[in-house]
């Protein structure tokens, strides 16, 4: 089970890269054009604000990748890092709704699995 969780964390961590590259205008996807708003366009954070959000996407993604490696190595602290990463990722995923709605589900799933002792 630990290996499946690690795989899920790698995929989720890589998916976070989209939040970084789009907000920093490194690339643009047809379904995710550059935008400076959050929460389905209700809050405009401006260009600087969206870049800060982009860095947060990147950091959360890196945390998931680190948690995945720690899980594969069976480090005792991987569940704690997974919870921290998911708690940081969840508000980002909510703020990026509806594009990041799958991320909300993945974060909730990871938190539930860790809470129920899946290791």
pLDDT tens track for 14-55: 999 999 999 999 987 877 788 899 999 999 999 999 999 999
Structure confidence at residue 78 as a pLDDT band (50, 70, 90): very high
Domain ranges of the chain: 2-27+35-115
pLDDT, mean over the chain? 94
- pTM summary value: 0.92
Nearest C-alpha neighbor of 8 from the set 86, 96, 117: 86
Give the separation between CA 65 and CA 58, rounded to whole angstroms.
Answer: 11
């Amino acid at each position: 089970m630990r290996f499946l969780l690690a795989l899920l964390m790698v995929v989720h961590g890589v998916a976070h890269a989209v939040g970084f590259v789009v907000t920093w205008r490194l690339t643009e996807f047809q379904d995710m054009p550059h935008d400076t708003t959050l929460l389905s366009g209700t809050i405009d954070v401006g260009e600087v604000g969206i870049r800060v959000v982009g860095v947060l996407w990147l950091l959360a993604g890196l945390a998931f990748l680190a948690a995945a490696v720690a899980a594969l190595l069976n480090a005792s602290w991987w569940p704690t890092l997974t919870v921290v990463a998911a708690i940081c990722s969840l508000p980002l995923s909510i703020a990026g709704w509806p594009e990041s709605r799958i991320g909300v589900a993945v974060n909730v799933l990871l938190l539930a699995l860790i809470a129920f002792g899946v290791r």
